[in-house]
Amino acid sequence: QQPVQSPQAVILREGEDAVINCSSSKALYSVHWYRQKHGEAPVFLMILLKGGEQKGHEKISASFNEKKQQSSLYLTASQLSYSGTYFCGTVLFNQAGTALIFGKGTTLSVSS
């Protein structure tokens, strides 16, 4: 039931773009995106609640394709501060509880 994130790692120069994918083998109810820097708490980025929904915050946006059971996180014109590990946390459709099931993460490194 753990979602699969791809790629595992991304190396970028400042100003470049990246896409991180999160796929599930089961129907998703919601997808929560977090960024975590080493040794720190995961920081909430955005939540997507229904199929086709796209959300954005400055240069970070995300989409949720309910049919494909997939969400993608888009980072445009990356900045050094974007470096970290990105996790998608999923809640399955018909899941009994509200806990997040996280993917293994995608490590993003941005250099100048």
- 42 in contact with another protein (CB under 8 A): yes
Whole-angstrom CA distances from 37 to 58, 82, 86, 102, 106 are: 19, 9, 9, 16, 12
Q: Is the Cβ of residue 98 or residue 112 nearer to another protein in the bound state?
A: 98
For residue 93, report the phi and psi dihedrals to the nearest 5 degrees: -65, 135
Q: Which one among 1, 8, 81, 98 touches another protein, defined by CB under 8 A?
A: 98
For residue 81, report the phi and psi dihedrals to the nearest 5 degrees: -70, -10
Q: What letter does residue 81 receive in the DSSP assignment?
A: G
Q: Candidates 9-17, 59-67, 68-76, 87-95 — which segment interacts with another protein by CB under 8 A?
A: 87-95
Q: Is the Cβ of residue 76 or residue 107 nearer to another protein in the bound state?
A: 107
- 95 in contact with another protein (CB under 8 A): yes
Handedness of CA 31, 37, 43, 45 (dihedral sign): negative
Q: Which one among 12, 20, 102, 108 touches another protein, defined by CB under 8 A?
A: 102
Q: Which of 108, 91, 107, 86 is nearest to 30 (CA)?
A: 91
- 32 in contact with another protein (CB under 8 A): yes
- Chain positions contacting another protein, by CB under 8 A: 2, 29-30, 32, 34, 39-44, 47, 49, 87, 89, 91, 95-105
